[in-house]
């Protein structure tokens, strides 16, 4: 659920990219029994119909984002296919970046070597992009100074 919070904090200074991992991007979808038995305000705020989740879907996202989706696992209390915690539909049906399917359950995705590879490649590509932007800016400043001297 940290991925939802990360998306909500996208405009803070220093946030340059977001990677969500096994995140209920469409909110939680529990059956009515679990909904009524729930006593956690945090969990209630993450239901698919809550304004917090709906507001995330109405935002514009201008920074690099990727979603790592856990595709294995099962919890019989969740009526849809799930990773043991989050439905696959909630992870898949809304996204604002590249999606990567990771064959793990909700907990094991964090120790899956494929997760590490995907994150490392994403950060490497960001680093290359930032270096290129820096070079472009430096080149622009140098060209501007030359033009002003003429």
**DSSP labels for 61-111?**
--S-EEEEEE-----TTSSS-BSSSSBHHHHHS--SSEEEEESS-TTGGGG
Element (H, E) at 9: none
In whole angstroms, what is the distance from residue 78 CA to residue 140 CA?
A: 55
Q: How many CB atoms lie within 10 A of CB 115?
A: 20
Average pLDDT, the chain: 81
Q: Which of 24-33, 89-98, 121-130 is predicted with the least confidence, judged by mean pLDDT?
A: 24-33
Contact between residue 4 and residue 46 where contact means Cβ atoms under 8 Å apart: yes
Q: What's the pLDDT at 28?
A: 72
State pLDDT tens for residues 32-81. Answer: 445 555 555 555 555 555 677 788 889 999 999 999 999 999 988 888 89
Contact between residue 16 and residue 63 where contact means Cβ atoms under 8 Å apart: yes
121 Cβ contact partners less than 8 Å away, ≥ 6 residues apart? none
Q: What's the pLDDT at 150?
A: 42
Q: What's the pLDDT at 21?
A: 96
Contact between residue 78 and residue 30 where contact means Cβ atoms under 8 Å apart: yes
> For residue 142, is pLDDT > 70?
no
> For residue 141, is pLDDT > 60?
no
> For residue 110, is pLDDT > 60?
yes
Q: What's the pLDDT at 55?
A: 87
Is the pTM value of this prediction over 0.85?
Answer: no
Of 49, 124, 60, residue with least CA distance to 97: 60
> For residue 143, is pLDDT > 70?
no
Which residues lie across from 101 on neighbouring strands? 69
> For residue 98, is pLDDT > 70?
yes
């Amino acid at each position: 659920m940290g991925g939802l919070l990360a998306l909500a904090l996208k405009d803070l200074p220093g946030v340059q990219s977001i990677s969500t991992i096994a995140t209920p991007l469409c909110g939680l979808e529990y059956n009515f029994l679990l909904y009524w038995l729930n006593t956690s305000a945090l969990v209630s705020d993450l239901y698919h119909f809550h304004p917090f989740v709906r507001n995330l879907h109405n935002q514009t996202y201008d920074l690099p984002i990727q979603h790592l989706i856990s595709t294995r696992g099962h919890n019989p209390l969740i009526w849809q296919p799930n990773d043991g915690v989050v439905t696959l539909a909630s992870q898949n049906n809304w996204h604002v970046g590249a999606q990567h399917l990771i064959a793990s359950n909700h907990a094991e995705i964090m120790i899956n070597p494929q997760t590490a590879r995907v994150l490392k490649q994403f950060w490497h590509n960001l680093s290359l992009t930032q270096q290129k932007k820096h070079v472009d800016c430096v080149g622009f400043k140098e060209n501007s100074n030359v033009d002003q001297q003429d």
